[in-house]
């Protein structure tokens, strides 16, 4: 999991990439540099756990080993779903109930409903604030300025 997170900041975004992030949340989330910048923004809002949960779920979906699926699912549950976790994400009761049932036999799709709920939350709430933030505007100006200086 740490390898996935440390790779998030692999390459500096291009001016075009930064501009495209404003066109759609999907583009932002598909971009490793976009996720890294968005994560930094979420950290300022004390909601970084939403993106970390989403990334962990994406990682789980790629897993094929049964024992690794179970291990990763339990870690995700303990880190983001358990009410005892300091990084608990905000999920409704129905989704929590579904997860609790699925945890009896975890699969790569165990957190599908929860992941969609958190993705939607980030899309509707955090993403518009990100785009209007000084954080994003300064990044967009900085990328634009540095590419015109080259």
From residue 102, give the alpha-carbon distance in Å to each of 13, 43, 77.
38, 30, 11
Residues in the chain: 150
Estimate the crossing angle of helix 48-61 against helix 66-76, to 10 degrees.
170
pLDDT at residue 61, as a whole number: 98
For residue 119, how many other CB atoms are within 10 A of its CB? Answer: 18
Query: What's the CA gap between 21 and 29, in Å, rounded?
Result: 8
pLDDT at residue 145, as a whole number: 53
Query: What's the CA gap between 100 and 128, in Å, rounded?
Result: 32
Tens-digit pLDDT profile for residues 81-127: 999 999 999 999 999 999 999 999 999 999 999 999 999 999 999 99
Domain borders along the chain are 2-149
Whether residue 149 has pLDDT greater than 50: no
pTM for the complete prediction? 0.87
Average pLDDT over residues 128-146: 83
Average pLDDT over residues 64-69: 97
pLDDT at residue 10, as a whole number: 58
- Matching CATH number, 2-149, of 3.40.50.300, 1.20.140.10, 2.40.160.20, 1.10.167.10: 1.10.167.10
Tens-digit pLDDT profile for residues 23-66: 999 999 999 999 999 999 999 999 999 999 999 999 999 999 99
From residue 128, give the alpha-carbon distance in Å to each of 41, 80, 124.
12, 23, 7
């Amino acid at each position: 999991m740490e390898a996935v997170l440390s790779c998030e900041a692999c390459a500096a975004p291009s001016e075009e990439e930064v501009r495209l992030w404003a066109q759609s949340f999907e583009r932002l989330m598909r971009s490793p540099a976009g996720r890294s910048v968005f994560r930094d923004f979420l950290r300022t809002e004390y909601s970084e756990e939403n993106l970390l949960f989403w990334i962990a779920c994406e990682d789980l979906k790629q897993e094929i080993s049964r024992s690794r699926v179970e291990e990763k699912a339990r870690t995700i549950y303990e880190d983001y779903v358990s009410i005892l976790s300091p990084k608990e994400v905000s999920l409704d009761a129905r989704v929590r109930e579904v997860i609790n049932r699925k945890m009896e036999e975890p699969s790569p799709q165990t957190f599908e409903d929860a992941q969609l709920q958190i993705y939607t939350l980030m899309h509707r709430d955090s993403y518009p604030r990100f785009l209007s933030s000084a954080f994003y505007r300064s990044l967009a100006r900085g990328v634009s300025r540095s590419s015109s200086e080259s």
